[in-house]
Structure 1
Amino acid sequence: MSLFPIMYLSGGTCVTLIMIGGGTMKMFFELVCNETCTVTTLTIIEWYLVFACIATMIAQLPNLNSIAGVSLVGAITAVSYCTLIWVLSVSKGRLDGVSYGPLDAKSDVATLFETLNALGIIAFAFRGHNLVLEIQGTMPSSIKHPSRLPMWKGVKFAYLIIAMCLFPLAIGGYWAYGNMMPVSNEGLLTAINRFHKRDTSNILLGMTSMLVVINCLSSFQIYAMPVFDNLEFRYTSALNRPCPRWLRVALRIFFGCLASFIAVALPFLPNLAGLIGAVALPITLAYPSFMWILIKKPLKFSAAWYLNWLLGVLGMLLSVSVVTGAIWSIVTKGLEVHFLKPE
């Protein structure tokens, strides 16, 4: 029950990273090349392929333990570019004519479902929950020193850093741009380049774009690792022997090619962020409670038994509600489907 949402969210995240990374590489090239450059830029599809090739070449480390350095690079670049973007947005002040009101009048039902869809998008932004058990599974654990203790400390610290990055980004960006925020994969980065390109140093804009690209390359390794592990596990389980190096490389190249194809074939995928995030919510909100009951086997009808069943059922209900809100938002707003035509 957990395998599908973990693989689904990891794969969807990698596809989204190809879109964001490839689009940002194109933006960086245009900043560096400027108006005086005579070199013809690549198409967005070609930039997707460039990013995917680089990410696939880097993605040759064997397991999650071996990518601690990659994770550190991703964390540093994430904190850096998030801080640069929101500080730059706030320092430039609000745009003339910015509005914070709704774009159109909505019924109470529409507001409720759009709020649920927004929760799905937030879940996708905090998408690291699908890696928690994968990471904990690689840590040494014993009765005296269970892995859950350092893991819990690490999770709290990690999500504190994520919140320190994302909340100032969301609040500062909304204050600066309001309803003038561009609707695109890059969000605030696109807004800065659109509204402040003339009054901001190209060096600062280029550095921000490059930090985003490096972060996407680092994140690709982390979110793709559960997929790599599962594919290699299937091989070792079926044949009862270690996965050879050549096959490991082939599997990762195959995944990189598949993710690139989906990024090109389904360019509207980021519009499904709410649904992608909502589908994996039970892993965080419901499964831990049910797992605790199965593993600890508390006395039936005891306080702990009731509490975990209550939390698990509420988590499932909230997950179903968020999925419903995401689907309702897609149905009512419509989805501009254009296959093999990324913008």
Structure 2
Amino acid sequence: MDSSIENREKERSEKEKAIDNWLPITSSRKAKWYYSAFHNVTAMVGAGVLSLPYAMAELGWGPGVVILVLSWIITLYTLWQMVEMHEMVPGKRFDRYHELGQEAFGEKLGLWIVVPQQLIVEVGVNIVYMVTGGKSLKKFHETVCPNCKEIRLTFFIMIFASGHFVLSQLPNFNSISGVSLAAAVMSLSYSTIAWTASIHRGKQSNVQYSYASSTTKGTVFSFFSAFGDVAFAYAGHNVVLEIQATIPSTPENPSKIPMWKGVIVAYIVVAVCYFPVALVGYWAFGNSVEDNILISLEKPAWLIAVANFFVVIHVIGSYQIYAMPVFDMLETLLVKKFKFPPGRTLRLVARSSYVALTMFIAMTFPFFGGLLGFFGGFAFAPTTYFLPCIMWLVIYKPKKFSASWFANWICIILGIMLMFVSSIGALKTIIDSAKNYKFYS
């Protein structure tokens, strides 16, 4: 009797091991430290960088610079905490954000706290990147062929989505490393084009650095919304544990060493991209800058066309980086809960359905600036700015009034304030945009 129970247990554990070896996050642990670098660059330096001059215009010089620098420092600190917590239990790895949440808050509560927020972030990013990809393709087409017949944005979003139906079938993070590397190079390239072209254009003759809104109410809402744009720009935390899960680990050489090395490189690239784009873009155009700096830059035409093409390639990679944890959740649910057999058919149907859903939502609601701010505030602030700090306090229990205790509580308070004010501001932006919007135009 005991041996039959033992056999059943062994069979079940082998079956679960086979499923883990098939799921996207845990199927391959052969990544090098530099995979971590370009995956993190691709995850972080996304469409958000192009909206930073617009965020600066809504914040003004003083508050804008302070918030940019503070965000860089706080998010690097919370990212370090997550890298450290990945293997804090000897012999166990927290391969997914929600697994760390379950360790901190309990089996059920951890899921309910982390999974909805992580899904909002990842699905939200994928929708915004569908819009960005479509808009950049449209801008590329109009720049290359100014006399051609105008094509609706809806069709460009569909063209952008078509590539993802193919790329989404790549099984795991390591299999998209080539796409991610290309995307990371593109992000550095178009960021450099954005600020060098702004310098080339020079400070506009009628440039103004006052707030664009003529009313106090409008200025306050815009100020709040800009917080969300900045939060959106620092958003790699939602996939950091999943990226670290792909790195091999031994007691002598834990995964946090190569992972942290990659993160430092990524954050240097982030600084090189973000600060020049935000400051030079705002300096050149002032409060008249568009919510995507490349739209404000119209000349030289060939360079802006190239930059928009680079954006398209980059957001193709970013979309896949953020979609991979969603595919993992989806496939885990279908295989473990609903007992679907793992295989190519399941992957084809599940992932294609997800790509189609994000495409449809993007075609329906392409309010780029407002979407950035809303998702940035509502979901990115918790998962990036203060949830890692709460987990750190719960798990490590640092001594009251110690440096670690103070640092975490400061991040939590600032993060909660950021979440509320940016969500309010962005919701107002979306409502204003929706008033004049025609569906599928």
The answer as to whether partners of 2:204 and 2:284 remain within 8 angstroms in 1 is yes
Aligned to 1:123: 231
Count of residues in Structure 1 that have an aligned counterpart in Structure 2: 326
Deviation for aligned residue 1:167: 1.3
Separation in structure 2 between the aligned mates of residue 205 and residue 114 of structure 1, nearest angstrom: 27
Aligned to 1:337: 434
Q: Is the 8 A contact 1:286 1:311 kept in 2?
A: no
2:118 matches 1:6:
yes
What is the CA deviation profile of residues 188-225 of structure 1, one whole-angstrom value per residue up to 9, with x for unaligned ones? Answer: 111112xx3xxx2x432322221111111111111111
The answer to whether the 8 Å contact 1:98/1:178 transfers is: yes
- Correspondences of 1:264-303 after superposition (within 5 Å): 264-268=363-367, 270-278=369-377, 279-296=379-396, 302=399
Q: Supply the distance in 2 between the matched residues of 1:255 and 1:332 (Cα, whole angstroms).
A: 28
**Is 1:257 aligned to residue 369 of structure 2?**
no
1:237 corresponding residue in structure 2: 336
Q: Could you report, residue by residue, the CA deviation over 1:115-139 in whole angstroms, capped at 9, with x for unpaired residues?
A: 5542321110122121111111222
Q: Which residue matches 1:163?
A: 271
Given that 1:94 and 1:175 are in contact with CA atoms closer than 8 Å, whether structure 2 keeps it comes out as yes
Q: Is the 8 A contact 1:16 1:270 kept in 2?
A: no
Question: 2:286 is matched with which residue: 150, 175, 178?
Answer: 178
Choose which of 173, 193, 197 in structure 2 pairs with 1:84. 193
Is the contact made by 1:63 and 1:225 (CA closer than 8 Å) also made in structure 2? yes
Greater displacement, 26-35 / 170-179:
26-35
* Aligned counterpart, 2:139: 27
Further displaced range: 83-92 or 287-296: 287-296
AA partner of residue 346 (structure 2) = L
Show structure 1 runs of 5+ residues with no match.
Answer: none
In the TM superposition, residue 256 of structure 1 has moved relative to its aligned partner by 0.9
Range with bigger deviation, 333-342 or 90-99: 333-342
Deviation track 1:110-166 (CA, whole Å, cap 9, x = no partner) reads 877755542321110122121111111222223222212221221121122012112
Cross-structure match for 2:315: 216
**Matching residue within 313, 317, 342 for 2:413:** 317
Cα pair 2:128 2:372 within 8 Å, conserved: no
Q: Which of the numbers 223, 228, 232 marks the counterpart of 2:327?
A: 228
Name 2:181's counterpart in structure 1: 72
Q: How much identity, in percent, do the aligned residues show?
A: 34
Deviations 1:252-279 (A, max 9, x none): 1111110011112222264032231122
Unaligned runs of 5+ in 2: 1-112
Distance 1:208 1:104 in 2: 30
| 8 Å Cα contact 1:99-1:179 kept in structure 2 | yes
What does the per-residue CA deviation read over 1:260-308, in whole Å, with 9 as the maximum and x for residues that have no partner? Answer: 111122222640322311223222333333433554466xxx358x655
Q: What amino acid is the match of 1:336?
A: S
**8 Å Cα contact 2:389/2:412 also seen in 1:** no
Cα offsets for 1:68-115 (capped at 9, x unmatched): 1111101101111111121111112122211111224665x9877755
2:101 aligned partner:
none
2:249 counterpart SS class: coil
Whole-Å separation in 2 of the counterparts to 1:179 and 1:294: 43
CA contact (8 A) 1:80 1:211 kept: yes
Please report the TM-score for the alignment, with normalisation by the length of structure 2. 0.67
Correspondence for 2:60? none
Between 210-219 and 268-277, the greater mean CA deviation after superposition: 268-277
Q: 1:142 to 1:239 in 2, by over 3 A?
A: farther
Alpha carbons of structure 1 residues 307 and 249: separation in structure 2 relative to 1, 3 Å = farther
Report if aligned partners of 1:267, 1:342 keep a CA contact under 8 Å in 2: no
Q: TM-score, normalised by structure 1?
A: 0.85
- Deviation above 6 Å: which 4+ runs of structure 1? 109-113
Relative to 1, partners in 2 of residues 1:13 and 1:62: Cα closer, same or farther, differing over 3 Å?
A: same
Q: Please say if residues 370 and 427 of structure 2, whose CA atoms lie closer than 8 Å, have aligned partners that are also in contact.
A: no
When the two chains are superposed, the root-mean-square deviation of aligned CA atoms in Å is 2.6
